[in-house]
Structure 1
Amino acid sequence: MSLTLQDIAWHRSVGQLIEALPKPNFWTLLVRLLEQYVAFDSWVVLLFSSEQRPLVFAECPGNDGGPDTLFQDYLKGLYLLDPFYIASREQAQTGFFRLAEVAPEYFEQTEYYQRYFRLNVVADEIQLNCQLDGDRTLCLSLGSTQRFSAEQIALLSLIQPWVIALLRQRMPFEEVVPTAPMPASGVWRTQLETSALQLKGAQLTARELDVARLMLSGCSSKEIARKLDISAETVKVHKKHIYSKLGIKSQSELFSIFLQAQNA
């Protein structure tokens, strides 16, 4: 079996990336290599952890060259509704993941999708995850204004072992700046719980806060019931109590309360 010129070019590029592992322009070189094989419109390298907010190691520049305002909102708290973040916390593992595989049933109907995802990512997203230990996940996320084709997905699946190996080898060269630890109750509960008290004078139970988070992420009642190991009827009761305590009638209003919590 003979190698094609394209095969030789790929292996040579990977070799060059190995040499560039300690260099500041490593991520740019990696992205440029991937762009030769798969078209995408945005990218970001993140470190997910349950103990702190996501850390950004590298990202594509904004249209005006400055920081992306929507992405800053993501880092403040919207990441808690990100299907990829949720999936990495529920079942941490190394691999190649598509939005269609991790998004809840009603994801495209959520306020998160309407107000952030379709404006910032637009159509589709894929993520290459390297599980570093029991909690931390190093992620390379690629966003596109069009759906990734079956051919592109197949190609990324083929080269993912090389890319993930490079992610793992790069990690020792990244400077991880410690941030304030998460509250014991979790940042989600702290944000929404605080806002509910300040804005509505309401106190939600831990289970109601969990149901609220899953609602906002796009989970159906059946999905919430399965994730929390309760019945669908119990989920409906929790939803009723959440709406009643907060004096609201829609998920849109619940999302607004969440936004006020993260911007407080």
Structure 2
Amino acid sequence: MNIDVETLFRAFNALIGKAAMTDDGFGDIFRQMMKALVRFDYVVVFAYRGKERPIDVYSTFDRDEHVVFVTLYQAGPYLLDPFYHTARERKEGVFRMRELAPDRFFSSEYYRTYYIQTGLAEEIGFFVPVDSNITVVLSLMRREQSGAFSPAEFAMLQKIEALVASMVKHYWTGMGPRFDAQLAARGKSRRRSKNAPRADTVWHDLNLTVRETAIVELVLQGHSSESIGLKLNISTGTVKVHRRNVYRKLGISSQTQLLSLYLKNLS
């Protein structure tokens, strides 16, 4: 693994004396820094706040790729994304997608229906909690043709993680107003927080109990019945009974139908 020192120094030099930068300006510098250290195909930066629609801060996709990686993702699939759930937990560090994914993620309906469209071999994210309960996630992605990141490359990213976090906290803070503006544009207001977000009400509207809601959301995220039982401190048999009851209530017979119903009622 070779480090492009010249490109790295050029990126650092672009930061000198800059008290503030645009999203694209800082995003480009981050991309150049990472390019000097490891190989990747795409960069995307999302900001997350609670269950709200994530904000696309920076990305390197072309128009068609943007539809899959950003537009479709923001429409609802983000709620089932391991990166989204890790961001909500306010974890800080650099993680591989496969480290964070549930035990059945790669056979889940979310993976088969949405994630496989990305054509990715691997995704690594820098998770940086900032202000106002917001977490910024900077993702490096590799297509299937490029293969996964090597252990040496991942170790390099771990070494630079603290620097990336410091840079993000300096240049990408104060995002609360952006989320507020997004809510306002969608006909909502932070003052209406007593009315639960659509992501919280969709299962209630379908007449599911709190326990049933917790179970079906974990199912859609890619957890097995055994994993759900461990997370909720109930037996695997109890999980399976709840799943059968949910399918009966909703008049469905497969996880494909469950995901379709979920996404339809989110819109």
Distance in structure 2 (CA, Å) of the matches to 1:244 and 1:159 = 50
Residue 80 and residue 18 in structure 1: after superposition, are their counterparts in 2 closer, same or farther (change >3 A)?
farther
- Name the residue aligned to 2:120: 122
- Name the residue aligned to 1:49: 49
Partner of residue 140 from structure 2, selected from 127, 142, 159: 142
**Number of matched residues?**
251
Residue 69 and residue 98 in structure 1: after superposition, are their counterparts in 2 closer, same or farther (change >3 A)?
closer
Q: CA deviation at 1:253?
A: 1.0
Identical counterparts, % of pairs: 31
DSSP 3-state at the match of 1:236: helix
- Name the residue aligned to 1:102: 100
The farther-off stretch of 178-187 and 212-221 is: 178-187
DSSP 3-state at the match of 1:126: strand
Residues 20-99 of structure 1 mapped to structure 2, 5 A cutoff: 20=18, 22-24=20-22, 25-50=25-50, 52-64=52-64, 67-69=66-68, 71-89=70-88, 91-99=89-97
Amino acid at match of 1:83: P
Partner of residue 191 from structure 1, selected from 193, 202, 218: 202
Residue 259 and residue 96 in structure 1: after superposition, are their counterparts in 2 closer, same or farther (change >3 A)?
same
**TM-score (norm. length: structure 1):** 0.84
Amino acid at match of 1:131: P
Residue 14 and residue 117 in structure 1: after superposition, are their counterparts in 2 closer, same or farther (change >3 A)?
same
Structure 1 runs (4+) greater than 6 angstroms displaced: none
Partner of residue 205 from structure 1, selected from 209, 230, 233: 209
- Name the residue aligned to 1:168: 169
Instruction: Extract unaligned runs of 5+ from structure 2.
Output: none
Residue 35 and residue 11 in structure 1: after superposition, are their counterparts in 2 closer, same or farther (change >3 A)?
closer
Distance in structure 2 (CA, Å) of the matches to 1:225 and 1:134 = 33
The farther-off stretch of 210-219 and 230-239 is: 230-239
Distance in structure 1 (CA, Å) of the matches to 2:18 and 2:174 = 11
CA RMSD of aligned residues (A): 2.6
Q: Is the 8 A contact 2:4 2:37 kept in 1?
A: no
Q: CA deviation at 1:98?
A: 0.9
Q: CA deviation at 1:256?
A: 1.0
Amino acid at match of 1:154: A
The farther-off stretch of 211-220 and 164-173 is: 164-173
